[in-house]
Amino acid sequence: MRKIHLLLFVLLAVIGSLVGFGWNEIGGTELIPSQEESSSTVEASITEDHDDEILNEKELRKKRLSEATENASAKHIPVLTYHHILEEKDLKARHYDEEGNLASTIVLLKDFKKQMRVLHDNGYFTLTLEEFKKYITNKMDIPKNSVLLTFDDGHKNNYIEAYPVLKEYGFYAVEFLITSRNNDQTEPYDSITNQYLSYEEIDAANDVYEFASHTSLFHNHEEDGTAFLISKSLPEIEEDVETSIEQIGGTNALAYPYGAYDEETMEAIRLAGIDLAFTVQAGYVAPGDDMLQIHRNSVRPYHSIEDFKEILQLS
């Protein structure tokens, strides 16, 4: 009898050890899920919940856009352009010109906050590139108070300073990257030099920013001042833009460096896969406009809040 008991005890111990190592079937009967299967199930559930959340957000946004459009649809809209967003305490001598004026590509954080508050308080929808494209191609009506926010160059301060403000209001924006200047290493923030977004920061900011092309190496000019997008050959431009698209992970949008382009430039970027191209020429955008010559309104450091409202055509 003692031998039988001992044999049963050993058998139970062996079974217990097998279950502990994830053997979840004995004699074809499932006892418990293995740790690996449990983890996979949890991960799948989390992924499914996240996908459902994104889908619900898209449906809710679509509904809100539709309801707002019924009240008043946009005949034309502004596209706004920013470069640097800086706090006053971070300004250095290099940020001023010889006459002591702040460089035209800088907007102070305090002013940016006021501008975004104006958009929020007036019920503005900040469009995605997909929504903007549907609007300009007559495939979608959008609310009267709509705007496309764009940032050129991909400066680190766009993540440090602008991103939290945009996220607070639930705003979307487009960041045009000079992709050759993005890197793997995330450096401490310091406004004494021109810093660019790291890949880590790009990933962290993609809930607010969409990333598009500002070329890879061609945000540059010849010794005589001619921009590369005009001086270089069509195949060279096409190759550079294709490189930037690949580095971004896919995009159909580009902002011309320095706003410089010609007919050959437009043909080159079209061949590279770009069908939305943004200039620096002021003006407004309406359905049917040339998609490779989209007007934008630059926001400058000397613009008062009333100037900003005037750009928006807020009465």
pLDDT tens for each residue of the chain, 315 residues long: 444 444 444 444 444 444 444 434 334 434 334 455 555 565 555 556 656 666 677 788 888 887 878 877 899 999 999 999 999 999 999 999 999 999 999 999 999 999 999 999 999 999 999 999 999 999 999 999 999 999 999 999 999 999 999 999 999 999 999 999 999 999 999 999 999 999 999 999 999 999 999 999 999 999 999 999 999 999 999 999 999 999 999 999 999 999 999 999 999 999 999 999 999 999 999 999 999 999 999 999 999 999 999 999 996
Give the dihedral of Cα atoms 34, 35, 37, 38; nearest 10 deg.
120
pLDDT of residue 31: 37
Residue 54 tokens, joined: 């994104």
10 Å CB burial of residue 212 (0-12, 13-18, 19+) is buried
State residue 65's pLDDT score: 84
pTM of the full structure: 0.82
Per DSSP bridges, beta strands 25-26 and 29-30 are antiparallel
Q: Domain 75-312: give its CATH code.
A: 3.20.20.370
Structure tokens at 18: 């097998």
Q: How far apart are CA 120 and CA 110, in angstroms?
A: 15
What does the alpha-carbon distance between residue 95 and residue 248 come to, in Å, rounded to a whole number? 29
Fill in the DSSP letter of residue 158: I
The answer to whether 142 touches 131, Cβ cutoff 8 Å, is yes
